[in-house]
């Protein structure tokens, strides 16, 4: 009877040993072949550790790469927004694009092509000197001048909208030529698709 | 004998003509004729304590009529005292000797309600009553109303028309975030807010019945055609083709004409009742804005930059011909036509700022009628073709001013603390 009990306990322990191998449970040696078993187990553990370290390194690298990419993307977006937000200026009673305005618009076109998710509102503004109705028309012509130039540079027309505010929103509330020069402008506002 | 009869007849005609001249004024003339008017000391029942207020209010209102010269009591014999307010109480000789043309009398007496006021205007030369009004007042607050009504009747008597006291003006009041449309009369009476929006309002204009106002409304980065109905107090917003909606106006037939950039350029279009383009009126590669019609709809003035700078042009409907109006200056805008289509009033930018000019389409003569300081802009002529409103920042803040085609005044229109832009008068059809 005692022998039967011992056999059952032994079998049960054996099953336990096999079932929990992955959990690195060290079963006390019951046989005389101890050195071979220890060596095998030691190499397995070492391999596992290396694998774990490798995986951790890879994960870290991946994270760093993602972070860098994200930062680069953000920087690029920031730069893009900066370029898009750059104003262009006009002469009195004129809607002709000056050479410097064309350069600014060229940069904008590149950014817009690189970021197809961006949509643009072009606002035309005037100084206070003209009359309100004429300034609404002039603001419209100024906004349209930029709009048409961007189309020529390959930006899709359906990504842009224009609006004239005439003299309603001056950048500089002053009543002198310095203020007026700042107020005769196009502003570019981003809207997301 | 025959000679004697002819002489008497001619003399009679002459004197009658002279007496008629004393009562009416040709407001379209050179503006040098004046009517001397004297306001006699009011007859006021003891319970009312308003005599100074009565005369000062009356003087304020009549002071807006540049063809009237109000004579002070010191310049009239016996300080212009009269026995009573009626015809039989007045000795006209002393007024005649003091060169008074028109004598005003006031009689405030107890009535069935707060009181009753009688206002009379006499032709001194003919010793006749020319305007007589009596008002039964419910309260003292109605007193100014009675006085301005009488002034309107007097203006009607002198000029044949009363735009000043009977036709409302709409104007734009601008705040940092909101803008509003207000109504007022040229004498400062009846200031009232009509509507307010979280956006920009530009170029309000009445229809020819004084029932609707059309204007440009800019909200949420878009232009709309705003249409406000006085009776229902409802605002409609309509999107139109193109991006920009500039200077909408009613035609005498009640249709709307507006400048739109349908072809990438502001051109002038006639809209259908369902706010679609019905007809192109003016089309050019340059800016074409600010249409304005004469009362018969046969002439329309507008501003165009087709010559490089903004100038005034007139479109003759029958001939479908465009004629240039302004030749001087480099920046002429905001033209309006007198109801008879003869005078064009517009704003010209000079070195010292914008100034108002009148151009006679018949003679080609041009006259400056405002002289600053600051900017005098957005003129609007009354339906009598005589009074002209404009906005000016001469006081540092944009306000409304009243002048005439002869450049009289200008007189400040009291909009209280409100800044005021883009005034537009009703041009009611006769």
pLDDT per residue as tens digits for the range B191-234: 999 999 999 999 999 999 999 999 999 999 999 999 999 999 99
Residue A25 above 60 pLDDT? no
Which H helix or E strand runs over A51? helix A34-85
**Which residues in chain A have Cβ-Cβ distances shorter than 8 Å to B305?**
137
On average, the pLDDT of chain B sits at 91
- Distance, CA of A132 to CA of A155 (rounded, Å): 31
Which run of H or E residues covers position A84?
helix A34-85
Bridge partners for B170 per DSSP: B183, B424
pLDDT tens digits, residue range B162-187? 989 999 999 999 998 899 999 999 99
* Chain segment B62-81, per-residue pLDDT in tens: 999 999 999 999 999 989 99
How far is A111 from B290, CA to CA, in rounded Å?
38
Task: Give the count of Cβ contacts less than 8 A between chain A and B.
Answer: 84
Closest CA of chain A from B369, distance in Å: 18
Q: Cβ of B334 and A93 within 8 Å? A: no
What whole-number distance in Å separates Cα of residue B395 and Cα of residue B13?
50
Per-residue confidence band for B426, with pLDDT thresholds at 50, 70 and 90: very high
pLDDT more than 90, % of chain A: 50
Question: Does any CB of chain A come closer than 8 Å to the CB of residue B406?
Answer: no
Nearest Cβ partner of B289 from A129, A134, A168? A134
**Which SS3 state, helix, strand or coil, does residue B326 take?**
coil
Tokens of B98: 């003091």
Highest CATH level, class, for B169-425: mainly beta
Q: What are B175's two structure tokens?
A: 């705040």
Distance, CA of B97 to chain centre:
34
Give the pLDDT confidence score for residue A66 in this predicted structure: 87
For chain B, report the end-to-end CA distance as a whole number of angstroms.
49
User: CA B400, CA B188: separation in Å to the nearest integer?
Assistant: 10
What single DSSP character describes residue B74? G
The nearest CA of chain B is from the CA of A131 a distance in Å of 7
The 10s digit of each residue's pLDDT in A110-164 is 999 988 888 999 999 999 988 899 999 999 999 999 999 999 999 999 999 999 9
Residues of A in contact with B421 (CB under 8 A): 132
- pLDDT band at B190; cut points 50, 70, 90: very high
Contact B259 A137 (CB under 8 A): yes
Residue B392, burial from CB neighbour count under 10 angstroms (0-12, 13-18, 19+):
buried
Determine how many CB atoms are found less than 10 A away from the CB of residue B192: 9
What DSSP state is assigned to residue B71? P
Asked if B157 and B180 touch (Cβ cutoff 8 Å), the reply is: no
Quote the tokens at residue B362: 């018949």
Residue A22 confidence (pLDDT) above 70: no
The token pair at A192 is: 């997301």
Judge contact between A94 and A136, C-beta under 8 A. no
- The alpha carbon of residue B383 is apart from the nearest alpha carbon of chain A, in Å, by 22
Strand ranges of the sheet holding B421-425, from the earlier edge strand across to the other edge: B192-197, B179-184, B169-174, B421-425
Q: Under CATH, what is the fold of the domain B23-159?
A: Rossmann fold (3.40.50)
Burial of A129 (0-12, 13-18, 19+ CB in 10 A): buried
Q: The complex's ipTM?
A: 0.86
Average pLDDT for residues B138-149, to the nearest whole number?
92
The H or E element containing residue B200 is strand B200-206
Which pLDDT does position A75 carry in this prediction?
A: 73
| Residue among B158, B60, B129 nearest B119 (CA) | B129
Residues 6+ apart with CB under 8 A from A38: none
What are the residues of chain A with a beta carbon less than 8 Å away from any beta carbon of chain B?
Answer: 93, 121, 123, 129-134, 136-138, 140-141, 143-144, 148, 161-166, 168, 189
On chain B, the residues whose CB falls within 8 A of the CB of A137 are 244, 246, 259, 266, 287, 289, 305
> How many CB atoms sit inside 10 A of residue A156's CB?
12
Segments of B261-398 assigned E as strands: 267-271, 277-282, 288-293, 299-304, 311-316, 321-324, 332-337, 343-350, 353-360, 366-368, 376-381, 387-392
* Stated length of chain B: 430
Domain limits, CATH 3.40.50.10070, in chain B: 23-159
Q: In whole angstroms, how large is the CA radius of gyration of chain A? A: 36
Residues of chain B with CATH 2.120.10.30: 169-425
B289 touches chain A (CB under 8 A): yes
The torsion of the CA quartet B37, B41, B43, B48, rounded to 10 degrees, works out to 110
Residue A45's pLDDT is: 81
How many beta carbons lie within 10 A of that of residue B59, not counting itself? 13
The verdict on a CB contact (< 8 Å) between B333 and A163 is no
Q: Which domains does chain A have, with CATH numbers?
A: 80-192 (3.30.1330.60)
Nearest CA of chain B to the CA of A164: how many Å? 7
| Cis previous bond, A97, omega within 30 | no
């Amino acid at each position: 009877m005692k022998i039967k009990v011992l056999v059952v306990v032994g079998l049960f322990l054996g099953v336990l040993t096999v079932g929990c191998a992955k959990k690195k449970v060290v079963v006390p040696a019951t046989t005389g072949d101890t050195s071979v078993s220890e060596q095998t187990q030691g190499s397995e553990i070492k391999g596992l550790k290396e694998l774990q370290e490798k995986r951790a390194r890879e994960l870290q690298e991946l994270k760093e790469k993602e972070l860098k990419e994200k930062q680069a993307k953000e920087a690029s977006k920031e730069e893009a927004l900066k370029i898009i937000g750059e104003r262009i200026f006009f002469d009195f009673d004129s809607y002709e694009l000056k050479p410097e305005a064309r350069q600014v618009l060229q940069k904008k076109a590149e950014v817009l092509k690189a970021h197809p998710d961006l949509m643009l509102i072009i606002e035309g503004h005037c100084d206070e000197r003209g009359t309100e109705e004429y300034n609404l028309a002039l603001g419209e012509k100024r906004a349209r001048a930029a709009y048409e130039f961007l189309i020529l540079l390959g930006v899709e027309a359906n990504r842009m909208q224009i609006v004239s505010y005439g003299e309603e929103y001056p950048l500089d509330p002053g009543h002198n030529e310095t203020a007026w020069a700042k107020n005769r402008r196009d502003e570019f506002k981003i809207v997301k698709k | 004998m025959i000679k004697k009869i002819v002489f008497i007849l001619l003399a009679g005609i002459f004197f009658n003509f002279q007496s008629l001249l004393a009562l009416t004024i040709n407001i379209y003339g050179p503006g040098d004729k004046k009517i001397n008017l004297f306001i006699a000391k009011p007859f006021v029942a003891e319970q009312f304590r308003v005599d100074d207020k009565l005369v000062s209010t009356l003087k304020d209102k009549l002071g807006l009529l540049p063809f009237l010269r109000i004579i002070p009591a010191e310049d009239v014999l016996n300080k212009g005292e009269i026995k009573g307010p009626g015809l039989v109480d007045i000795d006209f000789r002393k007024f005649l000797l003091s060169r008074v043309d028109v004598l005003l009398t006031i009689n405030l007496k107890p009535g069935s309600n707060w009181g009753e006021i009688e206002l009379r205007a006499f032709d001194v030369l003919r010793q006749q009553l020319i305007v007589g009004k009596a008002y039964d007042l419910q309260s003292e607050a109605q007193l100014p109303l009675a006085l301005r009504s009488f002034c309107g009747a007097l203006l009607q008597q002198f000029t044949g028309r009363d735009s000043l006291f009977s036709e409302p003006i709409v104007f734009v009041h601008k705040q940092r975030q909101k803008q509003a449309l207000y109504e007022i009369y040229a004498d400062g009476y009846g200031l009232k807010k009509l509507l307010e929006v979280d956006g920009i309002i530009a170029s309000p204009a009445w229809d020819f019945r004084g029932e609707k106002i059309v204007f440009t409304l800019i909200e949420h980065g878009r232009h709309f055609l705003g249409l406000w109905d006085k009776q229902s107090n409802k605002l409609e917003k309509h999107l139109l083709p193109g991006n920009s909606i500039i200077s909408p106006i009613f035609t005498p037939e009640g249709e709307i004409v507006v400048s739109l950039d349908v072809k990438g350029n502001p051109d002038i279009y006639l809209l259908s009742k369902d706010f679609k383009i019905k007809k192109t009126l003016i089309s050019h590669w340059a800016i074409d804005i600010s249409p304005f019609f004469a009362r018969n709809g046969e002439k329309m003035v507008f501003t165009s930059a087709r010559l490089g700078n903004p100038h005034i042009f007139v479109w003759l409907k029958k001939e479908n011909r465009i004629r240039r109006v302004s030749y001087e200056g480099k920046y002429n805008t905001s033209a309006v036509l007198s109801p008879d289509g003869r005078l064009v009033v517009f704003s010209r930018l000079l070195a010292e700022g914008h100034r108002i000019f009148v151009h006679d389409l018949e003679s080609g003569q041009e006259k400056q009628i405002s002289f600053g300081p600051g900017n005098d802009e957005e003129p609007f002529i009354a339906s009598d073709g005589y009074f002209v409103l404009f906005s000016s920042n001469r006081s540092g803040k944009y306000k409304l001013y009243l002048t005439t085609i002869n450049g009289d005044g200008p007189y400040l229109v009291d909009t209280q603390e409100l800044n005021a832009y883009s005034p537009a008068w009703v041009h009611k059809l006769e």
